[in-house]
């Protein structure tokens, strides 16, 4: 038991906005919290966005406020580069085995960057979805917390090279760091493991992976971001040229029994938001959105109405059948059926954005002694039949940030009651 008046410790798996929120709320109510995040930084998918709808503020803004509460709260212990291997026990008395992978960089790091200049090895930058590279020693992104470099042990030759060790003026690099395993006693577990984008190469007829100017919505977030591969300029990937026309293909792989049957609930708003990114940079660009239904529930309807007022934006009710183009680059032709006129229509554009959905991460490789319920789409059931086990945010269902935050707050309150008397 921890010395917190009998509330015990809650384990939160995943340090995205849902996990951060659950941790803050539970800790501010008096519980100790251990957050296990597999990446080298917290913030999850939200950190990779350019702006949030509906307020259109950059993620650094909302995340920073929460991170300040998160990192200054002595009741929260955050373990990055870590994963939960196993959970055994019963409500109020679970044991979790956590594997902590080495960062190879200690707390003396000041993020000066001398190590990066010395490092000779490159690797794909997954923060930019592999569009750019980083060195083997890297900072995941400028605002990353913990604010400390990390070394990719999969590509770094270690002591055979050692150039970063020589270059670091602070003795912050330790290539001998090893993975460690630790055991913790917790009263309840919250999965906040979130979502991944689908592999869009599987969507037949859409040309992703075949035509360089077909990208996905998550790639668009990176292209539009100031810390993205093009410094925030939305350009055709094939030649870096500006765009005169663009099409968004809604429900790419979603609401489709061949791929993912469910609606991810945020992709319509996501494309409307991205149409605004385009408009900011290209006042004259033609923007087409091909959709089945526009889903903008509740107050988000205002966001839709305001975006729809753009005279250069055309909304076409119809599912896209095929996208063709030149594998070397250039323009793309979209074929669809206009559902209102039943006419086959084509549009030729400079760039296509596939609005793909959210695929649940679930419990991943964690071995759990109890039965965990997962719905038919792979989302975890929020309140598990076995007491003291919960799921929140996009681990539980596709959701926007506001919904994830509300859900995480509610789940944190429920998890509190499993303390040991
Ligand atoms: C294209 C697109 C645009 C969007 N734009 C907006 C927007 O503008 N506004 C808005 O409100 N919403 C938007 N969303 C939705 C938003 O991304 C989600 O609401 C948000 O990411 C949910 O946060 P989360 O913490 O539940 O999941 P995530 O952000 O996925 O975070 C999950 C965290 O868990 C970690 N993790 C996963 N598995 C493990 C494991 N086994 N062990 C340890 N850690 C693990 C991950 O590394 C990650 O840090 C958008 C979604 C899409 C697809």
The answer on 364 and 346 residing in a single domain is: no
CATH code of the domain in which 214 resides: 3.50.50.60
The answer on 84 and 137 residing in a single domain is: no
The answer on 119 and 84 residing in a single domain is: no
The answer on 316 and 255 residing in a single domain is: yes
**Cβ contact 254:206 at 8 Å:** no
The answer on 336 and 236 residing in a single domain is: yes
Quote the tokens at residue 328: 């070397």
Looking at the domain assignment, is residue 172 inside a domain? Answer: no
pLDDT tens by residue, 328-366: 999 999 999 999 999 999 999 999 999 999 999 999 999
The answer on 376 and 321 residing in a single domain is: no
The answer on 329 and 248 residing in a single domain is: yes
CB of 393 closer than 6 A to ligand 1?
Answer: yes
pTM given for the model: 0.96
pLDDT tens by residue, 107-120: 999 999 999 999 99
Structural domain of 247: 200-354
H helix and E strand count, the chain: 8, 23
* Residue 2 reports pLDDT greater than 70: no
The answer on 411 and 338 residing in a single domain is: no
Quote the tokens at residue 227: 């810390």
The answer on 282 and 156 residing in a single domain is: no
pLDDT for res 204: 97
Looking at the domain assignment, is residue 381 inside a domain? Answer: yes
Choice from 11, 12, 16 to test ligand 1 binding pocket (greatest atom count within 8 A of CB): 16
**Which candidate, 329, 331, 356, places its Cα nearest to that of 346?**
331
Find the helix or strand (DSSP H, E) in which 254 lies: none
**Between residues 88 and 65, which one has the greater pLDDT?**
88
* Residue 103 reports pLDDT greater than 50: yes
The answer on 233 and 157 residing in a single domain is: no
CB of 360 closer than 6 A to ligand 1?
Answer: no
Distances (CA, A) of 232 to 58, 226, 283, 323: 12, 4, 16, 26
Quote the tokens at residue 347: 């549009």
pLDDT for res 421: 52
CB of 53 closer than 6 A to ligand 1?
Answer: yes
Q: Which atom of ligand 1 is nearest to the CA of 363?
A: 41
Distance of alpha carbon 36 from alpha carbon 250, whole angstroms: 34
Looking at the domain assignment, is residue 239 inside a domain? Answer: yes
Looking at the domain assignment, is residue 38 inside a domain? Answer: yes
pLDDT tens by residue, 120-138: 999 999 999 888 999 999 9
Distance of alpha carbon 162 from alpha carbon 71, whole angstroms: 32
Choice from 194, 217, 274 to test ligand 1 binding pocket (greatest atom count within 8 A of CB): 194
Q: What percent of the chain has pLDDT over 90?
A: 92
Looking at 314, 335, 354, which one is the last position of a domain? Answer: 354
């Amino acid at each position: 038991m921890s010395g917190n008046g009998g509330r015990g410790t809650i384990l939160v798996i995943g340090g995205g906005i849902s996990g951060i929120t659950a941790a803050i709320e539970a800790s501010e109510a008096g519980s100790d919290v251990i957050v296990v995040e597999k990446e080298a930084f917290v913030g999850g998918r939200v950190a990779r966005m350019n702006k949030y709808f509906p307020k259109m503020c950059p993620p650094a803004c909302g995340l920073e406020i929460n991170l300040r509460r998160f990192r200054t709260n002595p009741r929260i212990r955050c373990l990055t580069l870590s994963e939960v291997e196993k959970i055994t026990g019963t409500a109020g008395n679970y044991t979790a085995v956590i594997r902590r992978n080495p960062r190879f960089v200690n707390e003396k790091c000041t993020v000066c960057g001398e190590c990066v200049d010395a490092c000779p090895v490159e690797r794909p930058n997954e923060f930019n979805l592999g569009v750019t590279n980083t060195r083997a020693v890297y900072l995941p992104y400028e605002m990353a917390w913990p604010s400390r470099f990390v070394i990719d042990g999969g590509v770094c030759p270690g002591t055979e090279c050692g150039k970063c060790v020589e270059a670091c003026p602070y003795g912050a690099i330790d290539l001998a760091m090893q993975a460690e395993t630790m055991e913790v006693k917790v009263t309840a577990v919250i999965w906040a493991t979130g979502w991944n984008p689908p592999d869009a190469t599987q969507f037949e007829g859409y040309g992703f992976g075949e035509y360089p100017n077909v990208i996905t919505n998550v790639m668009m977030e990176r292209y539009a971001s100031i810390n993205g591969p093009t410094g925030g300029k939305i350009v055709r990937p094939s030649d870096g040229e500006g765009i005169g026309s663009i099409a968004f293909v809604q429900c790419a792989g979603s609401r489709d029994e061949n791929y993912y049957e469910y609606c991810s609930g945020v992709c319509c708003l996501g494309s409307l938001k991205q149409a605004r990114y385009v408009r900011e940079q290209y006042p004259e660009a033609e923007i087409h959105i091909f959709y089945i239904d526009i889903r903008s529930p509740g107050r988000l309807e205002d966001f839709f109405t305001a975006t729809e007022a753009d005279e250069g934006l055309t909304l076409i009710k119809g599912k896209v059948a095929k996208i063709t183009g030149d594998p070397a680059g250039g323009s793309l032709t979209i074929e669809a059926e206009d559902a209102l006129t039943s006419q086959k229509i084509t549009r030729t554009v400079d760039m296509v954005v596939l609005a793909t959905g959210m695929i649940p991460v679930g419990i991943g490789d964690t071995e759990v002694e109890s039965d965990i319920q997962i719905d038919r789409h792979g989302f975890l059931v929020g309140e598990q039949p076995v007491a003291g086990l919960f799921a929140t945010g996009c681990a539980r269902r596709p959701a926007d940030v506001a919904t994830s935050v509300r859900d995480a707050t509610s789940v944190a309150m429920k998890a509190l009651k499993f303390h040991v008397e």
